């Protein structure tokens, strides 16, 4: 299952979502990389927030709080049914990004 599908199911089943909590869920339950920045924040956080911000700009989710500590969003009930359509549109984009990261990791491991 790719990241967009997992996020879709998470949003479908949860009214609110924290980017940090979502990252931890992806790492612990779905085996995504646990690599972190020097600050301790998961490197996955950037991709998760980017995707959530895209959903926010489309009106699918509302931003409750966005600061240096975390970003918290709430699913817009009127758009809850549209999440699947948006997930399908972004599925390919996120899969390509994941493949690029994998290729980068392979390249780095050669040295």
Distance CA 111, CA 107 (A): 8
Is the pLDDT score of 99 beyond 70? no
Three-state DSSP state, 93: helix
Give the count of beta carbons closer than 10 Å to the beta carbon of residue 68: 7
**More confidently predicted of 63 and 2:** 63
CATH match of 3-109 with 3.10.270.10: no
d(CA 80, CA 88): 14
Whole-number Å distance between alpha carbons of 50 and 48: 5
Task: Indicate yes or no: pTM above 0.75.
Answer: no
């Amino acid at each position: 299952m790719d990241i967009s599908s997992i996020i879709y199911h998470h949003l479908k089943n949860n009214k609110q979502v924290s980017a940090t909590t979502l990252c931890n869920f992806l790492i612990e339950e779905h085996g995504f990389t646990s690599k972190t920045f020097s600050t301790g924040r998961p490197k996955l956080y950037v991709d998760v927030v980017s995707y959530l911000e895209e959903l926010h700009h489309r009106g699918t989710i509302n931003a409750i709080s966005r600061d240096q500590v975390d970003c918290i969003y709430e699913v817009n009930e009127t758009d809850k049914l549209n999440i699947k359509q948006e997930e399908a549109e972004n599925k390919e984009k996120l899969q390509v990004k994941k493949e690029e990261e994998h290729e980068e990791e392979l390249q780095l491991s050669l040295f």
